[in-house]
């Protein structure tokens, strides 16, 4: 929180710089692939984190790889920051423009290049939408597993940048588990390939570092993903609980029974009410918390697993249990969860979505802590959790037109993140740091750890031009925030969790 | 910008920090070592041995969190036993090569066993790590939760780094429940047919767990819910292998003690080389030698031969993969495939960032680093 906007540059100097940059890029791009008038660049001023906005000097919309390389080389030669952008659905400001930089829109790289059913891979350009990959693979009985809520719109390039997750991660993994190869360019426009269609590469696993690096290490142009067979059957249990602690304990009990659900999601009472009002799924409005617990696989496998799940959930004190009878009903069960964000949007003019992760056993603790924070900051908060992963999405409701509310909302969010770190978790599970959580990085990491991350950035991008100012806070910023982590012992997070310094 | 940190209060860790600082001051090199079970792997061994076995112990195992954290010197056998007591395991079946294998060695080498193609690799299960860098500074990355995108993913970058970035001190892993059912099937099948069948089966919702083909025989392991394993076994046919025999076969393959590797060991003693090729699984039969074992549905192929290194490397590269000189052969020419120039530059810079004085494992992963 406390997101920083880069210092406002002097308008005259900015205009002069803009003319230079536009002139240089105009020599390398067709006229329709370069935007710089403010009415044209305004649509790019933010991503899914709309609270913070900034217009870039120019937006480049290259259509060929040669043009991408030319833009990068030109910007590198002139020392101009470059912010790569996909669909702009990110929730942490990772694609927010730089005031003295160029936004590199990769929206036109939207072709599916190959689907190989025998190798179970798809090779696509970075601007292909997440869901489009699964649609292209569907005729072969295959799909791409990571399914962020924005999958209708978000691009695979953005998924790579953020290491996007979704509701099926516990069983099927994150982007980093499902991407085999990324081809693109370094900051200075040199072609580079990370990973391989083979299971590994010589040297360090740079692909693992590039995935989730929020566009700061390289620019992805082409991505090869792993496809998996679509399970023939999926069924979902909707379980009600009269107490959030019982619901949290039920999550741990399912895992303890040796079951890895295909999806395990939790909504609290206010979220359930908002979702029900939005989609009319028949949710139990009397429940303090609802769990959605899904099994997938062959019909025999699913029947066996659903039976075991029902036993565990009943034993954990579920007050109502309903199993989807058919695919239509399963989708109805999920509809409210998938529409949690828009449903919340109807409760309040604005909401801020948090994204921390905690150990599963702490789900009830954090929910109770958040209830206390609602009173402290006098703002409402509704909660959806990827309970199977311990990944929380508290949505703090506020009115952005009221500066006092925005201020309270930011402090509320920061306290959720700090509490999550204290409980042994992390400030971001799947949305990324971007600009939004820079200050919280000072809570989670020591100065030496942040310095190591800066050194990694320098190793890939010595001039520091790819998406500068995101993810890794400057030492000054951590000092100003007054936030210092305690001295680390060998087990930093463990130590924090057990309350030691 | 960082100041010299206070010495850690843990004596085993403190001793390692002292060794790093002393080596840095004296300009000497350190060779990081656990049980030595993988001394044969990678570039030449150089530097004074820094034995990491004193840094041992499982620091945390929470079965319902699906997380375990263990220090680098912990014997892999001890970790596996602790997990098995709760019906859990490391699904990537890391090879042990010997009784001394440690958790740190498993992560540093990044090697996975028979289940790699179905369950993923070591790094897929790494959630977080602490390391001592070349300045003797203790750093922590990642964590002990399933999803974590705070900052760059350094803990996965350390996996397979062969110790060149620092001393991996403690690692947290995602662990999984052991599948309840398992069956092993045997088929008489030529190489091309086996590769095609494996690709076809892998694209279907079958509980495939591992495969091995050599000398006209395909062995296939299924694992998962009993109902799914039984249904798949019935559908696929083949000859059922008795469970105890099957278990010993897969264990032998995992630790490279089985018939193929035993014969390869004899051939290496006689001057041949054992190569590991990592390829796209659909790469066609190589036809370079008869002494070949194929794992991971075609993605890992072991060749035992006396062919020139360039022949083997070119064959792997032309199919989109790479070849590693596993045992024997002319190791002076390098055991790993060379890096593309853009990647080589990034490697140099990363090495400098983590280990500016080049204290750790020189040449073990990359010739001049």
Residue B270 CB partners (closer than 8 Å, separation 6+):
none
Please name the member of B71, B133, B278 whose beta carbon is closest to the beta carbon of A199.
B278
C-beta atoms of B336 and A447 within 8 A: no
Q: Nearest residue on chain A to B64, judged by CA atoms?
A: A256
The two counts, helices (H) then strands (E), for chain A are: 19, 18
Q: Which of B203, B221, B254 marks a domain boundary?
A: B254
**Average pLDDT of the residues in B109-129:** 98
Nearest residue to B174 (alpha-carbon basis) of B214, B128, B213: B128
Within this chain, do residues B138 and B126 fall inside the same structural domain, yes or no?
A: yes
Within this chain, do residues B229 and B268 fall inside the same structural domain, yes or no?
A: no
The two counts, helices (H) then strands (E), for chain B are: 11, 17
Nearest residue to A142 (alpha-carbon basis) of A225, A79, A210: A225
Tell me how far the alpha carbon of residue B24 is from its chain's centroid.
29
Please name the member of B8, B140, B321 whose beta carbon is closest to the beta carbon of A449.
B140
Residues 231-260 of A with CB under 8 A from B: 231-232, 252-253, 255-256, 258-260
Four-CA torsion A438, A444, A446, A448, nearest 10 degrees: -60
- Residue B274 CA to residue B326 CA, distance in Å, equals 5
Within this chain, do residues B173 and B185 fall inside the same structural domain, yes or no?
A: no
At A146, which helix (H) or strand (E)?
none
Within this chain, do residues B41 and B55 fall inside the same structural domain, yes or no?
A: yes
Beta strands in A86-232 (DSSP E): 102-105, 112-116, 121-125, 142-143, 179-185, 191-195, 219-226, 228-229
Give strand pairing partners of B222.
Answer: B183, B208
- Three-state SS for B179? coil
Strands A58-60 and A102-105: parallel
Tell whether the model's pLDDT for residue B42 goes beyond 60: yes
Q: Which domain holds residue B207?
A: 181-254
Residue A50 CB partners (closer than 8 Å, separation 6+):
none
Give strand pairing partners of A381.
Answer: A396
Could you tell me if residue B339 is inside a domain? no
Could you tell me if residue B299 is inside a domain? yes
Within this chain, do residues B144 and B36 fall inside the same structural domain, yes or no?
A: yes
Would you tell me how many other CB atoms lie within 10 Å of the CB of residue B243? 11
- Residue B166 CA to residue B131 CA, distance in Å, equals 6
Reduced to 3 DSSP states, what percent helix, strand and coil does chain A have, rounded to the nearest 5?
Answer: 40, 20, 40
- Residue A338 CA to residue A367 CA, distance in Å, equals 20
Task: State the Rg of chain A over Cα.
Answer: 23
Could you tell me if residue B94 is inside a domain? yes
- Residue A460 CA to residue A24 CA, distance in Å, equals 25
Could you tell me if residue B187 is inside a domain? yes
Residues from chain A that touch B146, judged by Cβ atoms under 8 A, are 169-170, 357, 388-391, 429
CB of A274 closer than 8 Å to CB of A397:
no
Could you tell me if residue B143 is inside a domain? yes
Give strand pairing partners of B173.
Answer: B68, B126
Q: Which of B221, B254, B287 marks a domain boundary?
A: B254
A221: Cα within 13 Å, side-chain hemisphere: 19
- Three-state SS for A60? strand
Residues from chain B that touch A173, judged by Cβ atoms under 8 A, are 120, 124
Residues from chain A that touch B204, judged by Cβ atoms under 8 A, are 141, 229
C-beta atoms of A120 and B320 within 8 A: no
**Average pLDDT of every residue of chain B:** 95
For chain A, the straight-line distance linking the first and the last C-alpha, in angstroms and rounded, comes to 24
DSSP summary character for residue A362: G
Q: What is the pLDDT of residue B174?
A: 97
Residues from chain A that touch B87, judged by Cβ atoms under 8 A, are 258
Q: How many domains does chain B have?
A: 3
Q: Where are the alpha helices (DSSP H) in B135-225?
A: 154-158, 191-202
Residue of A493, A496, A497 for testing the chain B interface, max B β-carbons within 10 Å: A493
Positive/negative CA dihedral, B58, B101, B111, B210: negative
Would you tell me how many other CB atoms lie within 10 Å of the CB of residue A213? 29
- Residue B230 CA to residue A68 CA, distance in Å, equals 52
Within this chain, do residues B32 and B129 fall inside the same structural domain, yes or no?
A: yes
At B326, which helix (H) or strand (E)?
strand B322-328
| Residues making up chain B, counted from first to last | 369
Would you tell me how many other CB atoms lie within 10 Å of the CB of residue B25? 9
Could you tell me if residue B366 is inside a domain? no
Residue B44's CATH number: 3.30.465.10
Tell me, yes or no, if B239 comes closer than 8 A to chain A by beta carbon: no
Could you tell me if residue B139 is inside a domain? yes
Please name the member of A301, A430, A453 whose beta carbon is closest to the beta carbon of B147.
A430
At A385, which helix (H) or strand (E)?
strand A381-386
pLDDT digits (tens, 9 = 90+) for A185-213: 999 999 999 999 999 999 999 999 999 99
- Residue A456 CA to residue A450 CA, distance in Å, equals 10
C-beta atoms of A447 and B352 within 8 A: no
Residue A78 CB partners (closer than 8 Å, separation 6+):
A20, A21, A24
- Residue B76 CA to residue B79 CA, distance in Å, equals 5
Within this chain, do residues B161 and B129 fall inside the same structural domain, yes or no?
A: yes
C-beta atoms of B282 and A118 within 8 A: yes
- Residue A342 CA to residue A338 CA, distance in Å, equals 9
C-beta atoms of A204 and B347 within 8 A: yes
A337-348 burial code (b ≥16 CB/10 A, e <16): bbbbbebbbebb
Strands B48-51 and B30-33: parallel
Residue B318 CB partners (closer than 8 Å, separation 6+):
none
Within this chain, do residues B223 and B287 fall inside the same structural domain, yes or no?
A: no
At B333, which helix (H) or strand (E)?
none
Residues 443-472 of A with CB under 8 A from B: 444-453, 455-460, 462, 471-472
Could you tell me if residue B342 is inside a domain? no
Backbone phi, then psi, for A160, in 5-degree steps?
-65, -45
Q: What is the pLDDT of residue A4?
A: 52
- Three-state SS for A225? strand
Secondary structure in 3-state letters for A421-477: HHCCCECCCCCCCCCCCHHHHHHHCCHHHHHHHHHHHHHHCCCCCECCCCCCCCHHH
DSSP summary character for residue B331: G
Residues from chain A that touch B199, judged by Cβ atoms under 8 A, are 118-120
Within this chain, do residues B225 and B283 fall inside the same structural domain, yes or no?
A: no
Residue A328: burial class (beta carbons within 10 Å; 0-12, 13-18, 19+): exposed
C-beta atoms of A426 and B228 within 8 A: no
- Three-state SS for B7? coil
Q: What is the pLDDT of residue A498?
A: 32
Q: Where are the alpha helices (DSSP H) in chain B?
A: 11-26, 76-84, 103-109, 116-119, 154-158, 191-202, 226-236, 243-254, 259-269, 309-318, 341-354
Please name the member of B320, B354, B365 whose beta carbon is closest to the beta carbon of A196.
B320
- Residue B139 CA to residue B161 CA, distance in Å, equals 16
Within this chain, do residues B186 and B158 fall inside the same structural domain, yes or no?
A: no
C-beta atoms of A444 and B150 within 8 A: yes
Distance from CA of A37 to the nearest CA of B (A): 34
Within this chain, do residues B38 and B98 fall inside the same structural domain, yes or no?
A: yes
Positive/negative CA dihedral, A340, B125, A212, A176: negative
Distance from CA of B264 to the nearest CA of A (A): 23
Q: What is the pLDDT of residue A480?
A: 77
Residues 267-306 of B with CB under 8 A from A: 278-282, 296, 299-300
C-beta atoms of B123 and A208 within 8 A: yes
Distance from CA of B163 to the nearest CA of A (A): 11
Q: Which of B206, B226, B254 marks a domain boundary?
A: B254
Residue B195's CATH number: 3.30.70
Q: Nearest residue on chain B to A200, judged by CA atoms?
A: B278
Q: What is the pLDDT of residue A492?
A: 35
Q: What is the pLDDT of residue A7?
A: 67
Q: What is the pLDDT of residue B172?
A: 97
Q: Nearest residue on chain B to A496, judged by CA atoms?
A: B143
Within this chain, do residues B170 and B211 fall inside the same structural domain, yes or no?
A: no
User: Distances from the Cα of A171 to the Cαs of A165, B42, B177, in angstroms?
Assistant: 11, 33, 11
Nearest residue to B172 (alpha-carbon basis) of B130, B140, B141, B128: B128
Tell me, yes or no, if A347 comes closer than 8 A to chain B by beta carbon: no
pLDDT digits (tens, 9 = 90+) for B130-160: 999 999 999 999 999 999 999 999 999 999 9
Four-CA torsion A427, A429, A433, A436, nearest 10 degrees: -70
Tell whether the model's pLDDT for residue B6 goes beyond 90: no
CB of B130 closer than 8 Å to CB of B169:
yes
Q: What is the pLDDT of residue A500?
A: 28
Q: Where are the alpha helices (DSSP H) in A149-211?
A: 156-162, 169-172, 175-178, 206-210
- Residue A243 CA to residue B269 CA, distance in Å, equals 67
Give strand pairing partners of A225.
Answer: A122, A179
Instruction: Give per-10-residue mean pLDDT for chain A (501 aa).
Output: 62 96 98 97 93 94 98 98 97 95 98 98 98 98 94 96 92 97 98 98 98 98 98 96 94 92 95 93 94 93 94 98 96 90 89 92 91 96 93 93 93 94 92 92 93 98 97 88 42 32 25
Q: Could you tell me how many CB contacts below 8 A there are between chain A and chain B? A: 301
- Residue A74 CA to residue A303 CA, distance in Å, equals 59
Distance from CA of A404 to the nearest CA of B (A): 28
Angle at Cα B76 formed by Cα B71 and Cα B82, nearest 5°? 85
- Residue B63 CA to residue B204 CA, distance in Å, equals 31
- Residue B76 CA to residue B70 CA, distance in Å, equals 10
Q: What is the pLDDT of residue A481?
A: 64
Residue B86: burial class (beta carbons within 10 Å; 0-12, 13-18, 19+): middle
């Amino acid at each position: 929180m406390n997101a920083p906007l880069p210092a406002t540059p002097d308008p005259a100097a900015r205009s002069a710089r803009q003319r230079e940059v536009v002139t240089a890029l105009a020599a390398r791009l067709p006229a329709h692939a370069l935007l710089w008038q403010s009415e044209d660049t305004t649509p790019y001023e933010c991503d899914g984190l709309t609270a913070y906005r900034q217009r870039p000097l120019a937006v480049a919309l290259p259509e060929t790889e040669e043009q991408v390389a030319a833009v990068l080389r030109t910007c590198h030669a002139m020392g101009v920051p470059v912010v790569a952008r996909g669909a702009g659905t990110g929730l942490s400001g990772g694609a927010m423009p730089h005031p003295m930089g160029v936004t590199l829109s990769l929206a036109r790289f939207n072709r599916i290049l190959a689907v190989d059913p025998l190798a179970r891979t798809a090779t696509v350009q970075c601007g292909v939408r997440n869901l489009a990959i699964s649609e292209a693979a569907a005729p072969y009985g295959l799909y791409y597993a990571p399914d962020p809520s924005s999958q209708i719109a978000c691009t695979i390039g953005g998924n790579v940048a953020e290491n996007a997750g979704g509701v099926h991660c516990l069983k099927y993994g994150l982007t980093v588990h499902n991407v085999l190869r990324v081809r693109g360019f370094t900051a200075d426009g040199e072609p580079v390939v990370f990973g391989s269609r083979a299971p590994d590469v010589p040297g360090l696993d740079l692909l693992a570092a590039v995935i989730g690096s929020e566009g700061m290490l390289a620019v992805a142009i082409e991505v090869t993903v792993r496809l998996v067979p679509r399970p023939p059957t999926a069924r979902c249990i909707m379980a009600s609980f009269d107490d959030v602690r019982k619901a949290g304990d039920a999550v741990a009990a399912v895992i303890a029974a040796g079951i890895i659900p295909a999806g395990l999601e939790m909504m609290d009472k206010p979220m359930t009410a908002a979702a029900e009002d939005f989609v009319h799924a028949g949710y139990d409005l009397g429940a303090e918390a609802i769990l959605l617990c899904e099994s997938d696989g062959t019909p025999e496998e699913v029947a066996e697993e659903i039976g075991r799940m029902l036993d565990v959930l009943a034993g954990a004190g579920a007050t109502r249990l309903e199993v989807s009878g058919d695919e239509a009903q399963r989708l109805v069960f999920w509809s409210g969860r998938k529409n949690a964000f828009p449903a919340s949007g109807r409760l309040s003019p604005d909401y801020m979505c948090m994204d921390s992760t905690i150990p599963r056993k702490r789900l009830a603790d954090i929910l109770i802590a958040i209830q206390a924070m609602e009173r402290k900051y006098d703002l409402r908060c509704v909660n959806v959790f990827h309970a199977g992963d311990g990944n929380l999405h508290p949505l703090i409701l506020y009115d952005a037109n009221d500066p006092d509310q925005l201020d309270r909302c930011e402090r509320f969010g920061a306290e959720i993140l700090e509490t999550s770190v204290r409980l042994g978790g992390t400030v971001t599970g799947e949305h990324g740091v971007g600009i939004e959580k820079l200050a919280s990085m000072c809570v989670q990491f020591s100065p030496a750890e942040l310095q190591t991350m800066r050194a990694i950035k320098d190793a890939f991008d010595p001039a520091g031009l790819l998406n500068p100012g995101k993810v890794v806070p400057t030492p000054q910023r951590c000092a100003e925030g007054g936030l210092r982590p305690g001295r680390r012992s060998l087990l930093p997070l463990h130590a924090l969790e057990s309350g030691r310094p | 910008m960082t100041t010299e940190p206070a010495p850690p209060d843990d004596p085993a860790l403190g001793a390692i920090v002292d060794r790093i600082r002393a080596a840095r001051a004296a300009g000497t090199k350190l060779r990081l070592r656990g049980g030595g079970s993988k001394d044969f792997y990678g570039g030449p061994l150089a530097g004074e041995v820094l034995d990491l076995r004193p840094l041992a112990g499982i620091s945390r195992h929470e079965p319902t969190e699906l997380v375990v954290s263990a220090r680098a010197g912990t014997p892999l056998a001890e970790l596996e036993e602790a997990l098995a007591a709760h019906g859990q395991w490391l699904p990537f079946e890391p090879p042990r090569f010997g009784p001394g294998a440690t958790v740190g060695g498993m992560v540093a080498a990044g090697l996975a066993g028979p289940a790699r193609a179905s369950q993923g690799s070591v790094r897929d299960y790494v959630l977080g790590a602490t390391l001592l860098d070349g300045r003797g500074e203790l750093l922590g990355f990642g964590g002990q939760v399933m999803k974590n995108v705070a900052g760059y993913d350094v803990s996965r970058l350390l996996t397979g780094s062969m110790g060149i970035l620092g001393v991996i001190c403690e690692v947290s892993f995602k662990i999984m429940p052991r599948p309840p059912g398992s069956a092993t099937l045997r088929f008489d099948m030529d190489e091309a047919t086996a590769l095609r069948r494996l690709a076809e089966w892998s694209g279907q919702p079958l509980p495939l767990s591992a495969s091995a083909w050599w000398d006209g025989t395909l062995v296939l392991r299924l694992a998962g819910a009993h109902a799914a394993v039984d249904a798949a076994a019935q559908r696929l046919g083949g000859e059922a292998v008795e469970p105890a025999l099957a278990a010993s076969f897969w264990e032998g393959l995992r630790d490279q003690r089985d018939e193929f590797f035993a014969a390869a060991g004899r051939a290496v003693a006689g001057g041949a080389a054992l190569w590991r090729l990592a390829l796209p699984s659909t790469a066609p039969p190589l036809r370079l030698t008869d002494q070949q074992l194929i794992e991971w549905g075609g993605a890992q192929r072991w060749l035992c031969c006396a062919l020139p290194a360039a022949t083997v490397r070119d064959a792997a590269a032309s199919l989109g993969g790479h070849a590693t000189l596993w045992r024997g052969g002319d190791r002076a020419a390098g055991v790993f495939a060379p890096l593309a120039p853009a990647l080589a530059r990034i490697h140099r810079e990363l090495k400098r960032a983590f280990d500016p004085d080049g204290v750790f494992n020189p040449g073990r992963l990359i010739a001049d680093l």
